[in-house]
Amino acid sequence: MKVRLDPAAKLEIRQAALCYEDCRDGLGLEFLDAVESAFEQIQRHPRVWRILKGRFRRYLLQRFPYGLIYAVEGETIFVAAVMHLKRKPGYWVSRGKA
């Protein structure tokens, strides 16, 4: 399966990685590794994680307070958001129309 990210989700990944890198050298790269690992897990088992809203599911990152919000669209996994779990729940819902 192919992973397709909403442009806003790409920005969220980049911003979070920069923030973590500012906290500690190398931590941003560890965050990116966790995101990449999440993509691999979702590609292997796309329908395992719980449904969050409508067609969207949430995968919780290891070690970091983030969830990947995604939907399975045929042979594509559409990642709508890389959401911090303690901030503005549901802000990503309008991206579901993409």
Where does the pLDDT of residue 93 fall: very low under 50, low under 70, confident under 90, or very high at 90 and above? low
The answer, yes or no, to whether residue 98 has pLDDT greater than 50, is no
Contacts of 93-96 with CB under 8 Å at 24 or more apart are 93/53, 95/6, 95/8, 95/9, 96/53, 96/54, 96/55, 96/56, 96/71
Cα–Cα distance, 94 to 98 (Å, whole number):
8
Q: What is the pTM of this model?
A: 0.86
- List the single range of 39-48, 70-79, 84-93 with lowest mean pLDDT: 84-93
Give residue 86's pLDDT.
83
For residue 49, give the amino acid letter.
W
The answer, yes or no, to whether residue 62 has pLDDT greater than 60, is yes
Q: Report the top-level CATH class of 2-86.
A: alpha beta
**What residue segments make up the domains of the chain, in order of their start?**
2-86
Among the residues of 7-62, which ranges form H helices?
7-23, 27-44
